[in-house]
Amino acid sequence: MNYMSCVWVVFFCVLGPTTAIADNRLPQSLAAAIQNNGFKDDGIGIYIQDVASGKPLVTFNADRFFNPASVIKLVTTSAALDRLGVGYQWSTEVSYTGTIEGDTLKGDLYFHGNGDPYLTPERFWLLLNRVAIFGIRHISGNVIFDDSYFKPDPIDYGAFDGQPYRSYNVGPNAILVGFQATEFHLSIDYFRAESELHITPFPDSPRMRIVNNIKLIDGGCGPWQKRVNLDSRLVAEMLQVTFSGQYARDCDKKTLYRRVMDTDDHFRHFLLPLWQQLGGSVEGSVHQGTVPAGAHEFLADPSISLAEAVRFINKFSNNVMTRQLLLSLGARSSGPPGTTAKGLIAIKKWLAEKQLDDPALQLDNGAGLSRDTRISPALLGRLLYYNFQQAYMPEFMASLPVTGYDGTMAHRFENEPVIGHAHIKTGLLDFVQTMAGYVTTASGKRYVVVLLHNDPKAHTKAGERLQDEVIRWVYHL
C-alpha cells in the first residue's frame, strides 16, 4: 500500500457514525453536484442551518467526524473571543539592569514576550525606535530575550510534510518576531550583458550569506515558488542560505517568506541589523534568558487587539498565530507558562460549558496543520450558530474571508451575484478540502453552512467546485 493510500485509510476509519443527528437525504441538486464532480457520498459531511429559526435544513453525514484542516481554527478563535474578549491585547516589555550614562546602557537590555501573535518586523522596528528614543543607543552588556511565558512542545519543522523551511510549519513562541520568517526579495537585473537574479534578505544580517545557484529561464511565471529550492546551515559561524532551482524571467520581482533558522538565531539576526540602522550597538551577545527581579521596566508595547488578530488568522489561515492564541488561552486559564495541553484544556472546558463538546472532538494543535484533528459538521455548525447569538458576532463574522473580496475567498465567484454574500473559512490539506461559515441568500436570509470533505481527490479543483456549488445552492434558497 502506498503512502497516499495509507493516509486515506487513516481518514476513512474515523468516519463511523454516532447518534447525535440522524442523516437526511441530500437535496437532489447537491447529490448531483457530488456525483458530477466524481465523489462518493461517504467522504462528505454537510450541515446547513437557518440562523433565524435555528432549524437545520440539511444534515448529511453531519454527525460523522472528519479532518477539518484549517477550519478547526474557528474553534480556537471562538474560544479566545469568548474567554478573552475582543479587546484583549498582549504586550512586549522592555527593561534593563545597570545604569544609563549618556546614551550608553552600562548593563543588559531585556525583552520579555507575552505571546504577541502579530509582532511584525515593522512593529518590532518601532519598538526598537522607542528604546532609542528613551535614550539608549549603545549597550555595553547583553541583549536578552525572555520567552518563558510559553513552554511550547519540541518541534520538528519538517515532520508534517517534509517542508522544514515553510513558514506555516513555525511553532509558537512567547516573543515571536516576524512569524520567525525571513523575507527574501527576488529581482532581475536587466542592466547587465546577461540578466542576473538578485536575492536580498530582510533584515540583511551581516551574519547571513546568500549562495545563489538559481537558473533564470524563459516562460511564464506560474507556480514560481515550487521551482525555487532553499537550504540553510551554519558554516564557520555564518548562516549560509543556498538557493537553487529555476526562476522565470516573467516573474520579475517576487518575495519569498521562509523560516531559515531557529528561534534564538532568528531573534539575533532580526535585532542586530535593525538596531544598527538606528545607530545602535551591542558589545555583548544576544541570547535567551529571563528577566531578573529588580530590572527596570521602561516600555510595555501593546499588541493589536484580539479581534484584529482573529481577522488575520481566519482570513489568511495563519497557523502560527493560531498556535500563539492556543498557548495564550492556556497561560490565561491555568497560569504561565502557556502550553498546548493547557490551551486544549481551556478550550474543552469552554466547549463543555456551552454544551458544544463531544468525546470524539480532536483539536491537536488548534490550527489544523494535522492529520489527527477531528470534528463533525453538526458540532461545527452548532458552534457557528452559537457565535451568531453572541455580542462578539460582528468581530467573528468580519474575520471570515468574503467571497470575491478577500482572504482565501478573494478569487472565488468573480462576476457572480454571490460575491460579498458569503463569509467562509476554508481548509486545505492533501485529501482534505473544507469550508464553514455563513451565506446570505439573494432574499436576505442567512444560513450556517459547513462542508467537510475527506477523499483522495478532495484537495483538487473538483473539491473546490463542489464547495462553490453548495454555496450557490444556499444563495438561491
What pLDDT, on the 0 to 100 scale, is given for residue 20? 37
CA distances, 417 to each of 119, 120, 144, 199, 411 (Å): 38, 36, 55, 43, 14
Please state whether the predicted TM-score (pTM) of the whole model is above 0.85.
Answer: yes
Helix (H) or strand (E) holding 242: strand 238-248
Q: Are residues 312 and 230 in the same domain?
A: no
* DSSP character string of 54-96: --EEEEESTTS-B--GGGGHHHHHHHHHHHH-TT---EEEEEE
Instruction: State which of 302, 330, 364 marks the end of a domain.
Output: 302
Sites in the chain below the pLDDT cut of 70: 1-24, 192-194
What pLDDT, on the 0 to 100 scale, is given for residue 23? 52
What pLDDT, on the 0 to 100 scale, is given for residue 9? 41
Query: In the numeric block, which cell numbers belong to residue 193?
Result: 550583458
Report the CATH number that the domain containing residue 149 is assigned in CATH.
3.50.80.20
CB-CB neighbours of 360 under 10 Å: 16
Helix (H) or strand (E) holding 139: strand 138-139
Q: Are residues 41 and 125 in the same domain?
A: no
Cα–Cα dist 207/240, whole Å: 9
What pLDDT, on the 0 to 100 scale, is given for residue 18? 37
* Four-residue CA torsion sign, 52, 468, 65, 313: negative
Q: Are residues 366 and 398 in the same domain?
A: yes
Ramachandran region of residue 48, left (φ > 0), alpha (ψ -120 to 50) or beta? beta
Report the CATH number that the domain containing residue 49 is assigned in CATH.
3.40.710.10
Q: Are residues 292 and 384 in the same domain?
A: no
Residue of 262, 292, 266 lying closest to 207 (CA atoms): 266
Q: Are residues 323 and 440 in the same domain?
A: yes
Question: Interior CA angle at 170 toward 341 and 297, to 5°?
Answer: 75
Query: Domain tally for the chain?
Result: 3
Q: Are residues 298 and 426 in the same domain?
A: no
Beta pairing partners, 68: none
Q: Are residues 104 and 70 in the same domain?
A: no
Query: In the numeric block, which cell numbers belong to residue 448?
Result: 450556517
Sheet holding 99-101, edge to edge: 99-101, 104-106, 138-139, 281-282
Q: Give tens-digit pLDDT for 84-128.
A: 999 999 999 999 999 999 999 999 999 999 999 999 999 999 999
Q: Which domain holds residue 382?
A: 3-86+306-475
What pLDDT, on the 0 to 100 scale, is given for residue 175? 97
Instruction: State which of 243, 258, 273 marks the end of a domain.
Output: 258
Query: In the numeric block, which cell numbers belong to residue 347?
Result: 478550550
- Is residue 168 situated within a structural domain? no
**Residue 223: exposure state from Cβ atoms within 10 A (0-12, 13-18, ≥19):** exposed
- Is residue 176 situated within a structural domain? no
Q: Are residues 351 and 458 in the same domain?
A: yes
Cα–Cα dist 44/397, whole Å: 25
What pLDDT, on the 0 to 100 scale, is given for residue 193? 55
Helix (H) or strand (E) holding 215: strand 208-217
Q: Are 422 and 438 in contact (CB under 8 A)?
A: yes
